[in-house]
Structures are given as structure tokens and as C-alpha cells.
Amino acid sequence: MIRITDSANLVGLSKIFTILPTPKLIVLTPTLNQVLVGGTLNYQITWTGVGIKNKKTFALSLERTGRRRIPGTVGGGVETFEYSLDSGATWKMIGTMATNGFAYAWNVPDTSSTKAMVRITDANNLRAVSKVFTITRTPIPGAITVVRPARAEVIKGGTMNYRISWIGTNIAPQKTIELSLDSGATWTLVSVITDNSLSISWDVPDTNTTRAFVRVTDGNGIVGTSGKFTIISSGPVPGSIVIFHPLAGEEIKGGYVNYPIAFTAINTSASKTFEYSLDAGATWNLIAVVDSHSQIYSWPLVPNVDATRALIRITDATGIVGVSGLFTIVKMSTDGTIDALTLRGLDLNGNIDNNNVVGINWTYTGDIGTSVNVEVSLDYTATWMHIATVPTASAPHASWVTPSSGFFNPVFIRVTSTKGMTRASLPFSIGTVTSVESDLSALGYTVSNYPNPTGGQTTFRVSIPVAGPAALAIYDQRGSYVGTVISQYFAQGTYDIPFSTDELTSGVYTYMLTVNGDRIANRMIIAR
């Protein structure tokens, strides 16, 4: 109220009224010299004051690289939020606000300025400006990409001055290069450099691994890791013999004639000694000594005894040994024998064309039962297909038409009587591998794989006596193309090429090395 009094003490009073504080608006944040990172979301602009209108307006308009916030629209008095990148020479709208709050979420533009300011204006044009602060652009994250060794690359052990190379952005000059031979479980130091080089010279260790990685780490902890690659020792592949027939746990009829023993032999001598044991290897009995690189041997006569712990052992002249898994021999009746099994239609090399008839004849003495079952195997005796069942009262003869296409080797025909007497043919082949046009082995080319049989990863070893383009492809047992392992220009030398068989089903495959239209073939067994 206001009161007025004169000298005669006459008094007058005003009506009651209100005195409002002077409107005041102060920006609290950003503070003086504060550094904001461009691109920061929901940064809190804060302020204090009195007499500020509730309704406020915000807008954002960028002339530089950054983000844009669509301004909200409200009616009535508003408070306006703006920012400047040039100490207030120009202003850009941030947004609007229509509440009685003291904070506003601002998406900081991804730009740079050392003279940034924020300005707030309410609907009555009450205005406040922040202190000068800084906005810095969002730093681009550093990255390292290892270029070599490349994923799935095969490097010969002992290679000198192999170039490990990489590319990077925003990386420090100091870099540590490391090698792992076990998929990253352990790492060994290769080199440390302190300049901006993007490659180093590396002497590859002479070892074998299919799980090698190279890792490059800069001084800021940014890491780049190569894809998995392979190192193959320059030394010779160790010799090995792996017997895959008979199978572990297989049951064989006693008295079986020409039982097929199948195996793979790598870097072994031609001379091999075949033995069998009936007591899990406590004692051994000689089957034969054979001078051949063939990887199929027909056991002339399986002993007709009962044995649950039988084994086959193959030993080459250098002492390399392969032993089968334990198998069982079941004693059969001795009332009769199948004395001979003869195949007609084969040429002198034991081959017959596709879509031709194989004549099958056998002789026997004594009582062999009421009939004879005739079967054929195209997959190293893994499976047998029925041809015919011939009563013993009928002529001991059957016939079979070979597949219309495809190359099969080795092929076996087997006759088994109802009393268990069994005899198999010697191995023969059907058709021709049409892609094998000449024998490259005479020119010094070789191709093999190990381990063989394989259940997953195998390695093809290829010897190239003359530099040039070459391709290695796989075909199934019917001669159908499966896929190409590798096709490239090879320098003279021997190469080991890892290959995963995970996408191939169990069975027998043929692989061919092609050089200038000429080819050499070998076989691979996949057993799961």
C-alpha cells in the first residue's frame, strides 16, 4: 500500500497492490570454456531466474555438418533457445519449450567451434546469453584392417621376408605385431614399429598349423586381426598308414576268400607286410609281404575261427605302421566251400565300360546252403548292393549291368551262401575318368591328400614341376563334378592346400589336378 500524510496529519491510503521482482534470466550451462563433443544427445541446457514466461520456443538450424532437430510448435508466449558458433555474430534456433522448467535437452550439432554460445529469450523478450564454450567434432574411431595374410591363405613355412600388411585410420605410429598358431589362445611377438609404415617383413616359422592369425595393435589399443590362415612346413609330410577296412566293430565271416583290406598310405615304401592278430595284438600271424603302392589288398583267406579281438597290421619297409580297429571273426560251417569266383567282360587291365554286362560265375563243393546271394560294392565295400539271389539248385551264374556313366574304382563283387561261405572278387574298375586325358605323373606332377580317410579337414599336397596355371577339382563316385578346390597360377614347387569336407557326405571321391588340359587323379575317402 501507499500512504500519504499532510502537515495537519490528514492521511490517505492506496489500495493494496503487488510489487514484482525485476525479471531476471541467467544461463547456468554450458559454462565458461566448457568443451562439448559434437553429436552429444540430450545435453542439458540449464538456467535460473525470476519473472520468466512459462511458454518457450526452441529451434535448430545448422549451416555446417550436423544433425537437425525439427522445432516444436506452440501457441502464445514462448521462450526461445538459440546458439551461436561465432561469439554471437549470428544465431541459430535450437527449439521451443512451453513448461515452467529450468532445463532443456539439446542435441549438440556435430560441428566444431571455440566461440559457441547459447541464448535464451522468453515471450516478453527477456534474454540471457551463456558464457563462451567449445564444441569439438565427434572423433572418428581408429581402425586397423590386416590385409595380408589373407583369410584362408596358405603360406609355406620358412618363407623369408613375407610382407605382413595392413591399412588403418586414426591410428598411432607405434604398432605391435603378433602371431598366434592356435586360434588366438596364445600370441608371440613378431615385431614392434614406431613409424607410420603399413607393412613389415616377416620370416615365417617352419611349422604346421591351420589356425594361424596375425594381430596388429597400435599405441592406443586399437586392434586389427587377420583372417585365419595356414602355415605348411617345408619339411616332408610324415609317413602314415591308416586302415579303414575292416571297420572297427565289423563282423567278418570266417573262411571269407579275398576279403578286401583297404587303407591309405602316405610317404611309405612299396614293400608292405600284412599281418593279423586274433588276440588284440598279443601275437601276430603273417598274411603276406607285398611289393606294391596299391592301397587295396585282398586277404586270401580269413581264418575260420571265432575271435572277438581281431586286428590287421600293415608295416612298410621303413617301419611305418598302421593298425585297424578291433573287429570280430565268426566261425562258419565247414560243410562246403565256394571254390572260385570268375568275372567275365573285363579287359586285361581289369576294367569294363559303362553300361556293359559283367558275367558272374562261381563254383562250389559240399553243402553251402540253399542259395547264394550276389552283391556289388562301388564304395570301397562301405555298402553292398544286391544283384541276385541264385538257388543252389540253379546254375551258379548271375549277370549285372554296369552303371551307364561315371568312373568307379575299386569295384568288388561278392557271393555269400546261406550257410555263410563267402568269396569276393579281386578289385576291378568301371568306366574311365573322362577328365583324365594323359598321365601327368610321368612329367613329375603329383597330387595326394592327408589324412585320408578324413572326417573333416584334409590337406591336398600338389607338386608342380613347371610354373603355370593349374586347377584342382573334386568329383563324386559317379563322376559328377562337385566343386573346385583351387584354380590359380602356381610357381614351381610343392603346395599344401587345406580343405574342409564338412559339406560333403560320406563316400569315395575322385580329385583331379588339371594342367594345360592334361590331368592326374587320386581318390579321397570321407568317413563320418
Q: Are strands 56-58 and 79-84 parallel, antiparallel or unpaired?
A: parallel
The reply to whether 452 falls in a domain is yes
CA distance 435 to 407: 10
Find the domain containing 216 and state its range.
143-232
- 28 & 131 share domain: yes
CATH code, domain carrying 254:
2.60.40.10
Which grid cell is 89? 555474430
Average pLDDT score over residue span 29-44: 91
DSSP three-state, residue 46 = strand
The reply to whether 2 falls in a domain is no
CA distance 380 to 250: 14
Q: Which residue has the cell 561278392?
A: 414
Q: Is the pLDDT score of 440 beyond 70?
A: no
Q: Is the pLDDT score of 501 beyond 80?
A: yes
- 278 & 318 share domain: yes
Q: Is the pLDDT score of 58 beyond 50?
A: no
Q: Which residue has the cell 550257410?
A: 419
Most confident of the ranges 42-51, 350-359, 516-525: 350-359
Encode pLDDT of 116-138 as tens digits.
899 888 888 888 888 999 998 87
What pLDDT shows up at residue 271?
Answer: 95
The reply to whether 1 falls in a domain is no
- 227 & 283 share domain: no
The reply to whether 13 falls in a domain is no
Q: Is the pLDDT score of 436 beyond 50?
A: no
DSSP three-state, residue 442 = helix
Average pLDDT score over residue span 446-468: 83
Q: Which residues pair with 483 in a beta bridge?
A: 474
Which grid cell is 497? 592346400
With DSSP H G I counted as helix, E B as strand and the rest as coil, what are the percentages for the chain, rounded to 5?
0, 55, 45
- 214 & 315 share domain: no
Q: Is the pLDDT score of 83 beyond 80?
A: no
CB count within 10 Å of CB 18 equals: 4
pLDDT band at 55 (very low <50, low <70, confident <90, very high): low
Q: In the sheet that 457-464 helps form, which strands lie side by side, from edge to edge?
A: 446-450, 457-464, 493-500
Q: Which of these three, 282, 306, 330, is where a domain ends?
A: 330
Inter-residue contact 174 to 167 (CB < 8 Å): no
Q: Are strands 327-330 and 251-253 parallel, antiparallel or unpaired?
A: parallel
Q: Where are the beta strands (DSSP E) in 194-239?
A: 199-202, 209-218, 223-225, 229-232
The reply to whether 248 falls in a domain is yes
CB count within 10 Å of CB 283 equals: 9
- 419 & 344 share domain: yes
Asked whether the whole model's pTM tops 0.85, one would answer no
DSSP three-state, residue 273 = strand
Question: In this structure, what DSSP letter does residue 439 have?
Answer: B
Stated as kind and residue range, the H or E segment containing 184 is: none
Encode pLDDT of 163-173 as tens digits.
999 988 889 99
Q: Which of these three, 294, 310, 330, is where a domain ends?
A: 330
Inter-residue contact 353 to 402 (CB < 8 Å): yes
pLDDT band at 57 (very low <50, low <70, confident <90, very high): low
Q: Is the pLDDT score of 452 beyond 90?
A: no
What pLDDT shows up at residue 163?
Answer: 93
- 297 & 245 share domain: yes
Q: Which of these three, 262, 297, 330, is where a domain ends?
A: 330
Q: Please state the domain count of the chain.
A: 5
Encode pLDDT of 363-411 as tens digits.
999 999 999 999 999 877 777 899 999 999 999 999 999 988 777 778 9
The reply to whether 445 falls in a domain is yes
- 225 & 247 share domain: no
Whether the bond between 427 and the residue before it is cis, its omega within 30 degrees of 0, is: no
- 108 & 200 share domain: no
Q: Which residue has the cell 567449445?
A: 134
Q: Dihedrals φ, ψ of 441, to 5°?
A: -60, -30
Which residues fall within 8 angstroms of residue 197, CB to CB, at 6 or more apart? Answer: none
Most confident of the ranges 75-89, 204-218, 456-470: 204-218
What pLDDT shows up at residue 520?
Answer: 79
Most confident of the ranges 21-30, 341-350, 505-514: 341-350
What pLDDT shows up at residue 85?
Answer: 78
| H helix intervals, 115-239 | none
What pLDDT shows up at residue 442?
Answer: 64
Question: In this structure, what DSSP letter does residue 441 have?
Answer: G
Average pLDDT score over residue span 425-430: 92
Query: CA 408, 411, 412: angle at the middle one, nearest 5?
Result: 165
The reply to whether 256 falls in a domain is yes
What pLDDT shows up at residue 472?
Answer: 92
pLDDT band at 416 (very low <50, low <70, confident <90, very high): very high
- 37 & 127 share domain: yes
- 396 & 498 share domain: no
CATH code, domain carrying 499:
2.60.40.1930
- 349 & 412 share domain: yes
- 225 & 263 share domain: no
Q: Dihedrals φ, ψ of 440, to 5°?
A: -75, -15
The reply to whether 3 falls in a domain is no
Encode pLDDT of 266-323 as tens digits.
778 889 999 999 999 999 999 999 998 888 899 999 999 999 999 999 999 999 999 9
Average pLDDT score over residue span 69-88: 57
- How far does Cα 450 stand from its chain's mean position? 19
Lowest-confidence segment of 24-33, 275-284, 435-444 by average pLDDT: 435-444
